[in-house]
Amino acid sequence: MDFFDWQDRSRFRTGMWVGLFALGTAECLAELETGGLAVAEMVGGRRVALAGATDAEVRLMNVVEEMAIAAGLPVPVVCVLDRERGINAFAAGWSPDQAVVCVTRGALVQLPREEMQAVVAHEFSHILHGDMRLNTMLLGFLHGILSFGLMGRALLVGDTEDDEGFVPIAHGRFAFLTLVAGVLLTAIGYIGVVVGRLIKSAVSREREYLADAAAVQFTRNPVALARALRRIGGFVHGSRLRHARAEAVSHFLFGRYDADDDILGWFATHPPLVARIRRLAPAFDGTFPPVPLEPGLYDFERPESPLALSPVGLRPSYTSTEPLDPVKFVAGIGAPVREHLDRAARLLDALPRGLREALHDPGRVGAILYALLLSREPGLRSRQLALVAGRADDAVRDEVEAACALVAAQPRAARLAMVHQTLPSILSLPETRLQVLADTVEALATADQSIDLFEYALGHILARAIRSRHEGRARPVQVYGVLGAAREISVLLSALAWAGGGGGEAARASFDSAAARFGREAGRLSFIPAASAGLDDADRALRAAAGFSPDLKRTVVAASLFAVARDGRIDADEAELLRAVSAAMDVPVPLWVEAA
């Protein structure tokens, strides 16, 4: 009997420790539920709005947007740490839909455009490769361990106060036991934090090397990244962050937040600057020339300045189709290169200034989305405008008609890029306005009792972004292979094959080509008739695909290409549909439409 009593007590103690750790971790993760913006605000980040932004802030937003469009990612929210003088940056968020790219004031002022582009490319590598989610989980894990120490301190010091100061909880007949428990909890907490920091630092150091390499692949400019790192070494403030919670986010950062070397570098979250630079420029001599302070670095008042958008030149014409190169396409999934970045820059440079302003204005993004959905057929267009006026007012209707002139002049290849640019502003809207916008988009898309491929892509991307705001963290992985998802994959590939047109035989041939991407498991997939494989069916399959493993998602997206590109070419509508599928699965597909 005593043996079982001992077992019960042991289980109780184990449950108590696990419960305390779980509560501490859950508390931190709940604080970060809203994604990257919560991490940025935790260390003093300010969201940048294009209206009223300084020249340097506009340049930063241009660089971030170019990267996002080139990589096939939603445009992240951009934040600045106004009171941080060091040169640093980080990306945070549970998923690309909730991502934030944040830079310090020092980086904003000190880095030329090419070096800023290299640093932002480094941060986009963390977004592309899932490092943000890992970093956020580590943050919660360490806080859970620290909760032991915080509870121990409360037992030793107390958490109430009288006229003479803090009142220890350890008094009365159980004072000795309380003191022992306090010492034990404090020791467990702080020893655990030390071990946790060692793990965090080891993981972070390796990921930083990988992110540097990915940034070079993206920009093809190792010199710019090496110069940015060298600039940190020669700058009086280095990459330091002074915020009280800087250590908590140290593994998110581009560079070390502190300047002190620890014993053997065990607690260093980043490799030494010299080692990072020599991987980029082997001839580096290890010296760091002093970097002068830029004028205005310590002026924390943000003077108003006009927008400094890229000048509007001759717009490049975009071809409607491009020969299909499956090998190149699959290799580009999650691995954009300089070619994609250059295309994105040309696309953004071609957008008129007024349109760029509207895409970033929460009060005007609705008009842009509505304008994208308006039909060219006069009767249907009038009904759609009446729908807008009925759900909003005549002023909004006038804004939509004005936006039509801006939108209609843009190439079709730019439509989804514009949609992605609006997402940060859309997700900043109050809940009531967000719901009105979503309902109006759906009403406009279905005004003719049918949905084309672009309307489906726009609606799906918008609905997914809204769900990410409400649901917080991404769904856990539930399916790792075709066996557990054969029906969903079959429906999705069949729907895409039917959407590609060409009749039953052509759709069947496209489906078979797509299914072959799964190798020996292709036999588990079956071609679904058109009546059971419409876009609504595809939408339900995509929602289920949120629980697929990353490798399975990549295979499905690669197979989707073969289902869509029936004739070996991708037209604008098919491109938009494929981007919607990839966005639904968090598998970034780089921009591939060529400039003529």
**pLDDT tens, residue by residue, 162-209:** 445 444 544 555 565 666 666 676 666 666 666 666 766 777 778 888
User: In this structure, what DSSP letter does residue 94 have?
Assistant: S
CA dihedral 136, 204, 77, 550 (to 10 degrees): -70
Q: Given a cut of 60, is residue 570 above it in pLDDT?
A: yes
Q: Given a cut of 70, is residue 305 above it in pLDDT?
A: no
Count CB neighbours of 438 within 10 A: 17
Structural contact between residues 501 and 452, judged by C-beta atoms closer than 8 angstroms? no
Supply the mean pLDDT for the chain.
Answer: 77
Token pair listed for 91: 């990306």
For 380-427, the pLDDT digits (tens) are: 989 998 888 887 766 788 888 888 888 888 887 788 888 888 888 888
How much is the pTM?
0.77
Q: Is residue 521 annotated as a catalytic residue, yes or no?
A: no
SS (H, E, C) 306-363: CCCCCCCCCCCCECCCCECCHHHHHHHCCCCCHHHHHHHHHHHHCCCHHHHHHHCCCC
User: What was the pLDDT predicted at 260?
Assistant: 53
Pick the residue with more confidence: 202 or 506? Answer: 506
User: What was the pLDDT predicted at 121?
Assistant: 95
Average pLDDT of the segment spanning 97-117: 93
Give the least confident one: 172-181, 320-329, 357-366. Answer: 320-329
Q: 337: buried, middle or exposed (CB in 10 Å: 19+, 13-18, 0-12)? A: middle
Which domains, and CATH codes, for the chain? 36-129 (3.30.2010.10), 132-280 (no CATH), 350-467 (no CATH), 476-584 (no CATH)
Q: Given a cut of 80, is residue 100 above it in pLDDT?
A: yes
Measured between alpha carbons, how far is 127 from 383 in angstroms, rounded to an integer? 41
Token pair listed for 49: 């709005």
Torsion angles phi and psi, residue 216, rounded to 5 = -70, -40
User: What was the pLDDT predicted at 233?
Assistant: 93
Q: Given a cut of 50, is residue 304 above it in pLDDT?
A: no
Which member of 115, 123, 208, 455 is catalytic? 123
Residue-wise DSSP of 470-525: HH-SPPPP-B-SGGGTHHHHHHHHHHHHHHT-SHHHHHHHHHHHHHGGGGGGGGG-
Give the least confident one: 216-220, 309-313, 521-525, 559-563. Answer: 309-313
pLDDT band at residue 301, thresholds of 50, 70 and 90?
very low
- Give every CB contact of residue 397 below 8 A, 6+ residues apart in sequence: 385, 388, 389
Measured between alpha carbons, how far is 494 from 588 in angstroms, rounded to an integer? 22
Mean pLDDT is highest, among 156-160, 252-256, 327-331, 475-479, for 252-256
User: What was the pLDDT predicted at 241?
Assistant: 92
Helix (H), strand (E) counts: the chain: 23, 6
